[in-house]
Amino acid sequence: MKIKNYLILTVMLMLSVSCEDNLKEEPLSFLEESNSFNSPADATSALNAVYDRLKGIYGMTMIDLADLNSDECEVREDNGGGNEIHKNLFNSGTRLFDTFYTNSYTLIDRANRVIANVPGIAMDTKLRDQIVGEAKFLRALAYFNLVQAFGDIPLVTVVSNDVVNVEMPRDPVEKVYQQIVADLLDAEKVLPAKYTLATETGRATVGAAKSVLAKVYLTRKDWANAAAKAKEVIDAATYSLVPDYRDVFLPEKENGPEHIFSVQYSCVLPTYGSGMAESFAIYFSYPINLTGGSYQVIPAHVASYQPGDYRKTVTVIEEKTIANGTVVKSRTGPHMDKYWDPLACGAGRARNNFIVMRYADVLLMYAEALNEAGTATAEAYAAINQIRARARNGGAATVLPDLKNLTQAQFRESVYQERSWELCFEGHRRWDLLRTGRYIPQMQKIGVTAEERHLLYPIPVQEIDVNPALEQNPGY
């Protein structure tokens, strides 16, 4: 594993072959990492560096990992790299995996440094604890992504300045999840319910920690804790569904009442923009040079919507009216419109945030957990029916009618389908299919070869080359 260190290491090169004592040089000083953590400003700067790595983990990277490799998203045939992911033709040398792995461990390394060093700073104790809590939240989020993607992974929770010993074996999934849960439980004790300053937008809240923890419990099939943690978020009444489903995704309405945690993108600098808008745009419709992307909606997903479901109108398009009034039609099938940004700043530089967690997801997790714990309760029906009611967009009650009187199995399938309609192309689908045991049959339905080995991604070969202690996943 490539451990990214951020210290300046002074190396003395001895050119002389003489043994005379007067040629021995003693270093006058060393640059210690603790010297970089002296003030509240240092703590905030170090934490911002942890948040910055989210941009390399989410956006199109997460869409490739979790949506393109699923039964909802595909790319045109001329996108060789995309089809490698979608059609399970990838291998340990596929670049996407190394990019994701490296960025994740860079974030973890930076978080470890905040957690180790900030407690020693003389500063307001509440702010100090909050900053450490944010770092623990971000570390837990990175490990949750990694363990879902690769299974057993190296669990690094201390700062490593050793540039020689890079042999770090993989730790069992169970141990990784124990650390994830511990970090999130610690974080929820010290994070605020909300922030008030514009400069604090996008930082982790207690609601974010509880929501991610609910999903961790759900993934582990700990139904009671999943339901309890989701209910804590619901009962806090900090979040709510926005009335119009389209408003969830508009850049002008980002960080709204439904958004629990989002990776912040903007056009301030070229590296700050997101690439989702261009990747999904119909070709000749993207506002910058009339370009577009090759990412499209699988026809089976389009056909799955019930008549009158407003989410299909928001999500799926086959034509786009651009600023000059021209209607641009897709020549290659349906595209996805959630991430449209008419005011993008450049190629791959749109304003769309990546929504990691939103309130609709919490409601659906709550409904699922209650049903799996025994049977669907009145609270479970109320949660999922909120989602369906919004999807009518004011239409008749016969459109997506409220669910009632279902068996446990019927309710289970209803939740699975609702998650597909509600959360498609938001970085959830592969993980949902894996945790519910449906990945292989669902991929086979769309003609993609899927086998047991595809339930985990391969450990990047670049990591195995530099870390002999790593063992590859079976089948790769």
pLDDT bucket at 13, cuts 50 / 70 / 90: very low
Shared domain check, 339 and 409: no
pLDDT bucket at 449, cuts 50 / 70 / 90: very high
Shared domain check, 245 and 303: no
* DSSP letter (8 states) at residue 346: B
Look-up: residue for tokens 């610690």?
Answer: 186
Q: How far apart are CA 159 and CA 180, in angstroms?
A: 17
Task: Please give the tally of structural domains in the chain.
Answer: 3
Least confident interval from 181-190, 225-234, 271-280: 271-280
Helix (H, G, I), strand (E, B) or coil at 194: coil
Shared domain check, 125 and 55: yes
Shared domain check, 79 and 165: yes
Domain assignment of residue 277, given as a range: 270-352
Shared domain check, 168 and 78: yes
Is residue 423 pLDDT above 50, yes or no?
A: yes
Shared domain check, 59 and 82: yes
Look-up: residue for tokens 């289970």?
Answer: 412
Please say whether the beta carbons of 219 and 213 come within 8 A: no
Greatest alpha-carbon span in the chain? 94
Report the DSSP pairing between strands 319-321 and 327-329: antiparallel
Is residue 18 pLDDT above 50, yes or no?
A: no
* Exposure string for 29-50, b = 16+ CB within 10 A, e = fewer: eeeeeeeebeeeebbbebbebb
Mean pLDDT of 151-156: 98
Q: How far apart are CA 42 and CA 113, in angstroms?
A: 12
Q: How far apart are CA 229 and CA 213, in angstroms?
A: 7
Length of the chain: 476
Is residue 5 pLDDT above 50, yes or no?
A: no
Shared domain check, 361 and 347: no
266-271: list long-range contacts, CB under 8 Å, 24+ apart. 266/351, 267/344, 267/345, 267/346, 267/349, 267/350, 267/351, 270/346, 270/349, 271/55
Shared domain check, 257 and 159: no
The model's pTM is: 0.92
Per-residue pLDDT tens for 48-97?
999 999 999 999 999 999 999 999 999 999 999 999 999 999 999 999 99
- CA dihedral defined by 388, 390, 394, 398, rounded to 10 degrees? 0
Whether 181 maps to a domain, the answer reads: yes
Helix (H, G, I), strand (E, B) or coil at 397: coil
Helix (H, G, I), strand (E, B) or coil at 231: helix
pLDDT bucket at 34, cuts 50 / 70 / 90: low
Whether 165 maps to a domain, the answer reads: yes
Q: What is the DSSP string of 309-334?
A: -HHHHHHEESEEE-TTSPEEEPSSS-
- Determine phi and psi for 319, rounding to 5 degrees: -155, 155
Per-residue pLDDT tens for 110-122?
999 999 999 999 9
